Copies of this chain bind each other. A is one copy, B any other.
């Protein structure tokens, strides 16, 4: 596959198809991360430097860099002296992650309610309307993207880059289940109603209210994901 640095530079206008990192290591990192997060590589599958390297036509060094970062991030784990593999999600991991996301995202929403400027809510309102249209049309594929954008824009108003980064990292860990949530008709509908409510409370700068709505919003999401998790029989409670 085309993974050459010079090529990337020269045809930079079509860079979207290629992971846009400035170094090979970062490109591998992004690509591997997406593969893990989206479930393209199954949990438990081994991730071997030489294998990845060969399949991409590059040496082991950048792959190693990527693997180590992903290990630190918790997406890969290592079996002592066997190698690396995709970390599997236990039920407790989901509960834990949602719990942390809840406090972090409700805090971000609170900050956003306080810090946002009046004209910054318009793009959010647009997303809500767009979401509604797609919902009416039954265009489920679009929902996922719009939903993501709404939340990113909302938390972006918190003006706290570290917080935003932490939230995104946490979201990656359970990305596999995002589709699950919005594929439920009722949930997709409720979701946008929540968004509308958040927006209204933001307008009123009701920090407590927004925080509460976001918390409840995530609680619903957690319950859906857990039901789905249990249904699939992926139940492996550790500890």
Please list the residues of chain A having a beta carbon within 8 angstroms of any beta carbon in chain B. Answer: 25, 64-65, 68-69, 72, 74, 93, 96-97, 99-100, 103-104, 107, 111, 160-163, 166
Contacts and interface: CB of A to CB of B under 8 A. Distances in A.
7 contacts: A64-B65, A68-B68, A68-B69, A74-B162, A96-B162, A96-B163, A99-B111
B69 A99 contact: no
Contacts of A72: 69, 72
A185 to B, nearest CB: 32
A107 B99 CA distance: 9
A64 B107 CA distance: 35
Contacts of A97: 162
A181 B97 CA distance: 31
Given A100-B104, A100-B162, 13 more contacts: A64-B65, A69-B69, A69-B72, A72-B72, A96-B160, A96-B161, A99-B163, A100-B107, A100-B166, A103-B103, A103-B107, A104-B104, A166-B166
Contacts of A111: 99
A69 B73 CA distance: 10
Contacts of A69: 68-69, 72
Nearest to A173: B162
Contacts of A68: 25, 65, 68-69
A73 to B, nearest CB: 8
A96 B69 CA distance: 24
Contacts of A103: 103-104, 107
Nearest to A163: B100
| Residue from A93, A97, A162, A163 whose CB has the most chain B CB atoms within 10 Å | A162
Contacts of A93: 162
Contacts of A99: 107, 111, 160, 163
A84 to B, nearest CB: 13
A229 to B, nearest CB: 17
A30 B21 CA distance: 27
A98 to B, nearest CB: 11
A222 B162 CA distance: 17
